[in-house]
């Protein structure tokens, strides 16, 4: 990781801090869309050195957090089936549904494997041919190509006891829903670096044209973040919104063609429910009919049941940037990382988890 050292160099960061302090000429609100950006900003202590007039709010870029309660309940019901083994990323394991979590299901005997990639789930299926292994697909464009490649591999290798429950979502679809909400006022976006490495920095240009938003695609190290916030402040101050990409070591202006082709081969657009935002047309991805044998939702006849949010939990409003965790009556009281009520407290990219760990 030596190639990142310069982006963490305190001597490089010092002048960037000074530049940031001088950049704000009017009050402005910046939304960091990505949950990884939220955590990186807290972890690096940047909220404590923000210039007067600059406010940061968190957006809907935590894939676990925006997974609907109905989908979480469906995940748990799948895990409770005796003929199914579930493969899941660790972030999802303790997220509560209406009646407990996957961790609770595991405690009562459900077969649940925490994996690092969907390919791990496929290997589990190959090694356990008597069981149907269902990978719970939760994520944005960053993880979707890997899931598509896994489904293609399952078909090519004739592994029939593997399926994916896709709740994959796409950016920047939810931003249109947010920016049309009169309760939300923001001047600029710190655009997600990981997602942009797949969809390209140019994908954010329509938000500039339609909403006059300043947009900067940035990385996750200290220097990346400081420069991103400074450029956003300059854009807003000058009244010259545009998309700037200061993460060229990972992000191009154009989309990743190969990843896009892989995803298009396996998936097609679908309406998807987002926690806090409701159903957003064609903001999700479902598995194409040609690969229907690997669609867990069809294969198991899953029907989603409308589910209400836990009483008192304001995760939805936090994900929309309307409220902060400290405004939640449950925060650090009835809702803690050890016993979470909502997903924003348990996910490693959740805003509530960041507030709990690092403070305001």
For the chain, what is the domain count? 1
In a domain, 95, yes or no: yes
d(CA 347, CA 343): 6
In a domain, 185, yes or no: no
In a domain, 91, yes or no: yes
In a domain, 189, yes or no: no
> What is the CATH number for 275?
3.40.50.11740
- CA dihedral sign, ordered 240, 246, 247, 252: positive
In a domain, 273, yes or no: yes
Name 121's Cβ contacts closer than 8 Å, sequence gap at least 6.
87, 113, 115, 133, 135, 150, 162
The pLDDT value given to residue 225: 96
In a domain, 85, yes or no: yes
> What are the respective helix, strand and coil percentages of the chain, to the nearest 5?
45, 20, 35
Backbone angles phi, psi at 267, to 5 degrees: -115, 160
Total Cβ atoms within 10 A of residue 106: 18
Strand-strand pairing, 278-287 and 267-274: antiparallel
In a domain, 119, yes or no: yes
The pLDDT value given to residue 47: 92
Name 97's Cβ contacts closer than 8 Å, sequence gap at least 6.
69, 72, 73, 75, 76, 307
The pLDDT value given to residue 313: 93
d(CA 280, CA 275): 10
In a domain, 13, yes or no: no
Q: Number of helices and strands (H, E) in the chain?
A: 15, 11
The pLDDT value given to residue 9: 66
> What are the 10-residue block averages of pLDDT along the chain, 360 residues in total?
61 85 94 94 92 94 93 96 96 91 96 97 97 97 97 98 98 91 91 96 97 96 95 96 96 97 97 94 97 97 88 92 93 93 92 90
What domain range includes position 125? 69-170+257-299
């Amino acid at each position: 990781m030596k190639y990142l050292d310069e982006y963490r160099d305190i001597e490089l960061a010092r002048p960037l801090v000074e530049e940031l302090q001088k950049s704000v000429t009017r009050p402005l609100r910046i939304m960091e869309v990505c949950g990884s950006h939220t955590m990186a900003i807290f972890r690096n202590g940047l909220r404590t050195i923000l210039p007067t007039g600059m406010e940061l709010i968190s957006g809907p870029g935590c894939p676990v957090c925006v997974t609907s309660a109905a989908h979480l309940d469906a995940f748990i019901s799948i895990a409770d089936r005796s003929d199914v083994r579930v493969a899941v990323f660790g972030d999802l394991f303790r997220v509560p549904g209406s009646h407990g979590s996957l961790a609770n299901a595991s405690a009562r005997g459900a077969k649940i494997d925490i994996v690092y990639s969907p390919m791990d789930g496929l290997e589990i299926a190959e090694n356990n041919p008597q069981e149907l292994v269902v990978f719970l697909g939760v994520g944005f464009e960053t993880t979707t190509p890997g899931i598509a490649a896994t489904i293609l591999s399952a078909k090519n290798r004739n592994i029939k006891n593997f399926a994916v429950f896709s709740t994959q979502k796409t950016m920047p679809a939810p931003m249109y829903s947010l920016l049309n909400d009169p309760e939300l006022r923001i001047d600029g976006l710190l655009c997600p670096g990981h997602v942009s490495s797949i969809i390209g920095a140019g994908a954010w240009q329509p938000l500039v044209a339609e909403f006059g938003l300043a947009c900067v695609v940035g990385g996750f190290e200290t220097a990346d973040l400081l420069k991103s916030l400074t450029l956003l402040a300059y854009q807003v101050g000058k009244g010259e919104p545009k998309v700037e990409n200061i993460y060229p070591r990972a992000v191009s202006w154009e989309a990743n063609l190969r990843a896009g082709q892989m995803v298009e081969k396996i998936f097609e657009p679908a309406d998807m429910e987002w926690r806090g935002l409701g159903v957003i047309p064609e903001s999700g991805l479902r598995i194409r009919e040609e690969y229907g044998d690997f669609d867990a939702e069809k294969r198991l006849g899953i029907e989603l049941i409308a589910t209400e949010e836990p009483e008192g939990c304001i995760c939805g409003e936090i994900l929309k940037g309307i409220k902060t965790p400290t405004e939640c009556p449950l925060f650090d009281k009835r809702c803690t990382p050890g016993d979470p009520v909502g997903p924003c407290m348990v996910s490693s990219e959740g805003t509530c988890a960041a507030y709990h760990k690092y403070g305001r």
